[in-house]
Structure 1
Amino acid sequence: ETDDFGYIINTGAQKTAHTGSLFFNEPTIANGANGAQIVTFTIQSNDGKSVTHEYTLPASDYMIDAAIKVSGAQQLFTGGSANLQWNYTVLPQQDDLKYERQQSNLCFSEEGNYDFNRAEAGTQKDFEKPTNWVALKQQFFSAALLSKGGTFSSGNAQVTAKPDSIKQLLAANVNMKVPIQGNTAVIPVQWYYGPNDYTVLRGYDNNLYQMVDLGSGMFAFVKYINRWVIMPVFDFLASFISNFGWVIALLTLFIRLVTAPLTYSSYLSGAKMKALRPELDGLKKKFGDDQQGYAMEQMKLFREAGVNPLGGCIPALLQIPIFFALYSFFNSAISLRDQSFLWADDLSRYDTIATLPFSIPFGFGDHISLFTLTAVITSFLISIYNMSMTPQTQDNPALKYMPYIFPFILLFIFNRLPSALTWYYTVSNVITLGLQFVIQNYIINHDKILAQIEQKRKQPKAKSKWAERYAQLMETQKKMQEMKDRNKK
């Protein structure tokens, strides 16, 4: 690991030197407040110019305070500013180097606004606005250079790590400018070397906590689900349960209880669709290849029976933001690092029950995750159950087999993801299977549903504007198809 810091100063007529190559006096060490130690390095010229580096090392904190004190600043610095140079290289901290690289970013805060770039070799960021801090973020740890109580006026950062290096996860050269006023200057800076722990970072008076990726990109909104729901519940459960695997299981149960009303409405809609299956099968036989005629009669049947064919989609749509919230959370939760559960050695990374002598493409990798298999198998069982409950209204083979194809796709998506996420998915699927069995067999009265459907069909129906427009559209398409058929004859 390399961590170099310094800057260029004028040492004579048209001569310069980097402070990293200069010999400072032996450091002095003094005791500071709260058990901190103050380490001071000084270098002084014969003509009275001096440079002092004062570091305050806390007893129990991740933030290092530093003060660069310069006497004769107008002569030592050119252009009225100091160009601080920080070169940082870090070794991998996780076993899966490729996945850890995907989670690594060059983070920064310009005028108090957080942003980041992917930490890929060749990535360069020019800072043209006042910048609060720059950081190199790994999956679970970060190193940051901060301007204490102010901003850097400008600067740039360039990622230099080789993409195929097994010794370096990422490296960067950071250059930040600080304006110098007067001949005696004090430049206060800070370094953060520590975990990407949301609670720890939130304790500092800057926005370093935003480095913890709780949701970004098109799913940036899920960070609010994490901050206001997932994290408080997770921390509460972890406060009295030592095993994080069971914490995740109880968190899953909590999520399913909160979404239970929508889940019940989904199953009720499925039961109504199952009750209409004989009539739908009759319509398919009646209309044969006439898809438009079948669709019109199908909508008419749903309207008469008071059935919403999309009623089962709402819980599925609700699961999407929840899944991406948990995906972000489990990828960022340092509390899961090195936490074992069942056969998984580390819940923050994938579990391995077998290592392959080759790598399977499409993201699968060279290992087999058992939690991934349990998630895929339970998803497949749910698909089989749902197919048995839902009448087939499409003849398209792709749509017919999609419920079976989806679990197979999950096999490639999940195999490299944290075992915490695949364990959550497994528990959620088991709860789904249990709820489906109990609700369909002991709570929902199918005879009563049939009676309610018949009762609604006898009631006069006021056609909605949407239904009217849809019926008109289908009627127009049917007439156009009939005209095409006549022209062919």
Structure 2
Amino acid sequence: MDIRRTILWMIFSFSLLFLWNNWQVHNGKPSLFGGAPAAQQQEQAQADGQTPASDAGVPVPTDVAAAPPSEVPATPQPVQTQAEPVVITTDVLRLTFDPVGARLVKAELLKFGAVDDRDRPVVLLDNSPSLTYLVESGAVGPQGAAFPTHRTPFQVTTQARELSGDAMDISFEAVSGGLRVVKTFTVRQGRYDIHVRHALTNVGDAPVSPSVYMQITRDSSKPPGESSFYSTFTGPAVYSEQDKFQKISFADIERDRATYTTQANNGWIGMIQHYFVTAWVPDQGVERTNNLVALGNNLFAMRAIEPAGSLAPQETRVMNAQLWVGPQDQQALEQVAPGLGLVVDYGWLTVIAKPLFAIMTWLHAMLGNWGWTIVALTVLIKLVFFPLSAASYRSMARMKAVAPRLQAMKEKYGDDRQKLNQAMMELYRTEKINPLGGCLPILVQIPVFISLYWVLLASVEMRGAPWILWITDLSVRDPWFILPAIMMATMFLQIRLNPTPPDPIQAKVMMIMPLVFGGMMFFFPAGLVLYWVVNNCLSIAQQWYITRKIANQTAAVAKA
């Protein structure tokens, strides 16, 4: 194989990829490699002692027909109480509610260890100086109506605090402006989806027309443990049947240029970060208004507003919704709502990444270990690409056999590049060698490699998943850099099996490539490096076998 063509094809392919990625970022689109739009990359530090999100009023647009002109909440300042937080514990969640507003102000995921201390659970929701991330809801009405909002003191009406059976209810009640609101949160064994029931009762003497809002408030800070080598999306997402999955950057919200579905009777709203998501899923088929706003002071709110219609005195109306607070478990998310599994975003290669993840899930069900699952997947991918690889290695073996003749041509024609190329093409034709035969498998595997990169990077199943010995987490880099070192060694061995380029400069470039690619792998997830190491080992075995077979055939022909 003419090694110069291989290098040029690789450079050309990666150049096109990076040029397209930069064009996407320049136009405000998310990076193909997980970064947020360039406008979002500005530093957004959150100062200590900042005003919590719950202290700021969120105006509802007056041009939204589904919601009356009002403010969320109506009161300018939060009501201060001495009520103790309500802490609810299940087998997978520890939830802390503030009786003021019956807000969910802290959520700990008991099955997932924190980045800095695996013995402590991940804190997803919090209301602290370092993170403001809250789930809120309430009722709003026409201008001047002071219905219970997320700043109204609620009374806890249930006693249970720890889940002992299959399900448990936690209820809060408040009365304001002639409207009684009873919020009931139903948690279940082994589940991250919480059923939320808003029961609205008109306790006044005149009809009222409230609307229920379901809100997520968050600052724009990145979650802990984010890598400086790659970036993942943190921010709001909206899904509807008409416009499908839409990610919105905090920067676009702040600049009032966010584009998303505002009117729908289906779908959901959510806040995404690496591995985890919080989402409100209102009842499907009910008309609602979606709204995203910047509160200032590095705080943002997204909400869905559903009108309850007119309530006569003593009439009660129930509004139901599902609230997900937990990991990006694709199968469980899709059972909660259509399209909710899309929060596991594989980008433009989803069409390849989704089947890869499905195959990995099937293999894991049999093997029980994600490391061995990656090994098995690599073998399957190698089998699929075997015909292409075999053709490539046969071309390489023939190139190696004619290498002395190519060197002789180079010495014969010297600097006459035209005659040298004509002679080389004639040699390739007579020996039935395709000089580009080794390039195709490389080009074909690039999308598969990037897709697998996103599967290993985005799938929460890889988080904390061990393989063997020193590899205790496939989602982070090898702590001892053993796999990257093995990868570099296997790449060097592959180059030794290839024909030596006649140009000394090209030969040096080829020897440097393992150092470059291996150096990159020092920062990649161990699971991805494991895939590449196994792939290299299988390629070496296949290439050695084919080269040896062709050499024996050539020797047999020479003796005949």
Q: Unmatched 5+ residue regions in structure 2?
A: 1-125, 128-133
1:136 alignment partner AA: M
In 2, the alpha carbon distance for the partners of 1:289 and 1:418 equals 47
Q: 1:113 to 1:226 in 2, by over 3 A?
A: farther
Q: What is residue 527 of structure 2 aligned with on the other side? A: 420
Q: 1:143 to 1:4 in 2, by over 3 A?
A: closer
Question: Superposition pairs for residues 68-217 of structure 1, below 5 Å?
Answer: 68-72=198-202, 81-88=211-218, 95-96=225-226, 98=228, 102-111=232-241, 113-117=243-247, 125=258, 126-130=260-264, 132-150=267-285, 153-157=288-292, 172-183=300-311, 185-213=317-345, 215-217=346-348
Q: 1:309 to 1:450 in 2, by over 3 A?
A: farther
Tell me the alpha carbon deviations over residues 283-331 of structure 1, each in whole angstroms, 9 at most, x when there is no partner.
Answer: 3223322222322332222223222111222222232122122212211
Q: 1:45 to 1:200 in 2, by over 3 A?
A: closer
2:560 pairs with 1:434? no
Give the counterpart of 1:43 among 160, 169, 174. 174
- Structure with higher Rg: it is 1
TM-score by length of 2: 0.64
SS at match of 1:67: strand
In 1, the alpha carbon distance for the partners of 2:401 and 2:177 equals 97
In 2, the alpha carbon distance for the partners of 1:231 and 1:258 equals 18
Q: What is residue 403 of structure 1 aligned with on the other side? A: 510
In 1, the alpha carbon distance for the partners of 2:388 and 2:198 equals 60
Q: Displacement of 1:29 after TM fit?
A: 6.3
Q: 1:113 to 1:99 in 2, by over 3 A?
A: farther
Q: Displacement of 1:119 after TM fit?
A: 5.5
In 2, the alpha carbon distance for the partners of 1:342 and 1:172 equals 44
8 A Cα contact 1:132 1:151, kept in partner: no
2:441 pairs with 1:329? no
Q: 1:55 to 1:323 in 2, by over 3 A?
A: same
In 1, the alpha carbon distance for the partners of 2:555 and 2:270 equals 60
Give the counterpart of 2:470 among 320, 325, 343. 343
Tell me the alpha carbon deviations over residues 59-98 of structure 1, each in whole angstroms, 9 at most, x when there is no partner.
Answer: 33211111222234996657xx544432246998764465
8 A Cα contact 1:5 1:85, kept in partner: yes
Q: Displacement of 1:249 after TM fit?
A: 2.5
8 A Cα contact 1:119 1:159, kept in partner: no
| Structure with the largest fraction of helix | 1
2:428 pairs with 1:302? yes
In 1, the alpha carbon distance for the partners of 2:145 and 2:295 equals 28
Q: 1:8 to 1:50 in 2, by over 3 A?
A: closer
In 2, the alpha carbon distance for the partners of 1:94 and 1:409 equals 29
8 A Cα contact 2:156 2:172, kept in partner: yes
1:186 alignment partner AA: V
SS at match of 2:478: coil
TM-score by length of 1: 0.73
In 1, the alpha carbon distance for the partners of 2:214 and 2:371 equals 45
Superposition CA RMSD, Å: 3.7
Tell me the alpha carbon deviations over residues 9-52 of structure 1, each in whole angstroms, 9 at most, x when there is no partner.
Answer: 359x83646622212233236999x83223332223585x3222
In 1, the alpha carbon distance for the partners of 2:389 and 2:419 equals 32
SS at match of 2:434: coil
8 A Cα contact 2:155 2:174, kept in partner: yes
Q: Unmatched 5+ residue regions in structure 1?
A: 164-170, 354-368, 453-489
Q: Displacement of 1:109 after TM fit?
A: 0.7
> Percent identity over the alignment?
24
In 2, the alpha carbon distance for the partners of 1:181 and 1:29 equals 32
SS at match of 1:28: coil
8 A Cα contact 1:414 1:422, kept in partner: yes
SS at match of 2:520: helix
SS at match of 1:346: coil
Q: 1:231 to 1:84 in 2, by over 3 A?
A: closer
Give the counterpart of 2:190 among 40, 60, 84. 60
Q: Which moved more, 1:63-72 or 1:249-258?
A: 249-258
